[in-house]
Structure 1
Amino acid sequence: MAESISPMNGGSGTYSYARNSTWQRNGALIVEDAVKEAVAESLDLAKLLCESNTFVVADLGCSVGPNTFYAMETIIGAVQQLKCDRSLEFQVAFNDRVGNDFNTLFASLPEHGRNRNYFAAAVAGSFYGRLFPSSSVHIAYSSASLNWLSKVPEGLTAEGSPAWNAAKIHYSGSSDAVARAYEDQFEEDMEVFFRCRAQEIAAGGLRLFNMAVVPSKDVQHRIASLFTFIESILIDMVKEGVLAQERVDSFNIPIVFPWVEQVRRLLEKNKCFEIVKMEKVEIAGKRDSKTSVMHIRAGLEGTLSNHFGSEIVEQVFERAIQQQHNLQVKHIDISSTGIFVVLRRN
Structure 2
Amino acid sequence: MAAEETKEMQEAYPMKGGNGLYSYTKNSKPQRAATDAAKELIKMAIEENFDKEILFSSKTLSIADLGCSVGPNTFFAVQNIIEAFESRYQKHQELNSRIPEFQVFFSDHTSNDFNLLFTSLPQNKPYYAAGVPGSFYGRLFPKASLHFVYTSVAIHFRSEVPKEVMNKNSPAWNKGRIYYIYSSDEVVRAYKAQFDRDMEKFLQARAEEIVYGGLLVIVVGGISHGTHHSQGHGGMILDLLGTCLMDLAKKGIVSEDKVDSFNIPIYHMTPQEVEAAAERNGCFSVERIEDIHHVGSDENNSLSITNAQEFASYIRSGMEGQIKKHFGEEILDVLFDTYKKKIEDNPSIFKSGKALAFFILLKRKAIN
**Common topology (TM > 0.5):** yes
Q: Does 1:307 align with 2:318?
A: no
Q: Does 1:145 align with 2:154?
A: yes
Structure 2 residue runs without a partner (length 5+): 1-7, 90-94
TM-score normalised by length of structure 2: 0.89
Q: Does 1:92 align with 2:127?
A: no
Where does residue 218 of structure 1 map in the other structure?
A: 228
Q: Aligned partners of 2:349 and 2:209: how far apart in 1?
A: 46
Shift of 1:233: 1.4
Query: Does the 8 A contact of 1:8 with 1:300 survive in 2?
Result: yes
Q: Does 1:172 align with 2:157?
A: no
Q: Aligned partners of 2:9 and 2:165: how far apart in 1?
A: 15
Where does residue 25 of structure 1 map in the other structure?
A: 32
Shift of 1:217: 5.0
Q: 1:149-206: CA deviations, max 9, x gaps?
A: 1100121111020110011000011111000000000011001100000000011100
Where does residue 163 of structure 2 map in the other structure?
A: 154
Q: Does 1:55 align with 2:71?
A: no
User: Would you tell me which structure has more helix in proportion to its own residues?
Assistant: 2
Q: Please, what is the CA RMSD of the aligned residues?
A: 1.8
Shift of 1:41: 0.8
Where does residue 204 of structure 1 map in the other structure?
A: 213
Query: Does the 8 A contact of 1:5 with 1:302 survive in 2?
Result: no
Query: Does the 8 A contact of 1:15 with 1:298 survive in 2?
Result: yes
Q: 1:130-165: CA deviations, max 9, x gaps?
A: 000000000000111011111001211110201100
* Pairing partner for 2:240 from 229, 233, 243: 229
Equivalent residue runs for 1:1-346 within 5 Å: 5-45=12-52, 47-48=53-54, 51-83=57-89, 84=95, 85-111=97-123, 115-215=124-224, 216-219=226-229, 220-283=231-294, 284-285=297-298, 286=302, 287=305, 288-329=307-348, 331-332=350-351, 336-346=355-365
Shift of 1:264: 2.1
Shift of 1:241: 1.2
Shift of 1:36: 0.5
Structure 1 residue runs without a partner (length 5+): none
Tell me the SS of whatever aligns to 2:171.
Answer: coil
Tell me the SS of whatever aligns to 2:206.
Answer: helix
Distance 1:298 1:195, change over 3 A: same
Query: Does the 8 A contact of 2:56 with 2:98 survive in 1?
Result: no
Query: Does the 8 A contact of 2:157 with 2:267 survive in 1?
Result: yes
Q: How many residues align?
A: 342
Shift of 1:317: 1.2
Identity %: 39
Tell me the SS of whatever aligns to 2:160.
Answer: coil
- AA partner of residue 36 (structure 1): K
Q: 1:95-136: CA deviations, max 9, x gaps?
A: 00110001111111111xxx2100100000000000000000
Structure 1 segments, 4+ long, off by >6 Å, are none
Query: Does the 8 A contact of 1:289 with 1:327 survive in 2?
Result: no
- AA partner of residue 129 (structure 2): A
Q: Aligned partners of 2:157 and 2:285: how far apart in 1?
A: 24
Higher deviation after alignment, 249-258 or 36-45: 36-45
Q: Aligned partners of 2:108 and 2:16: how far apart in 1?
A: 13
Query: Does the 8 A contact of 1:48 with 1:203 survive in 2?
Result: no
Distance 1:50 1:33, change over 3 A: closer
Where does residue 4 of structure 2 map in the other structure?
A: none
- AA partner of residue 228 (structure 2): D
Q: Aligned partners of 2:182 and 2:105: how far apart in 1?
A: 38
Q: Aligned partners of 2:40 and 2:353: how far apart in 1?
A: 22
Tell me the SS of whatever aligns to 1:147.
Answer: coil
- AA partner of residue 163 (structure 2): E
Tell me the SS of whatever aligns to 1:79.
Answer: helix
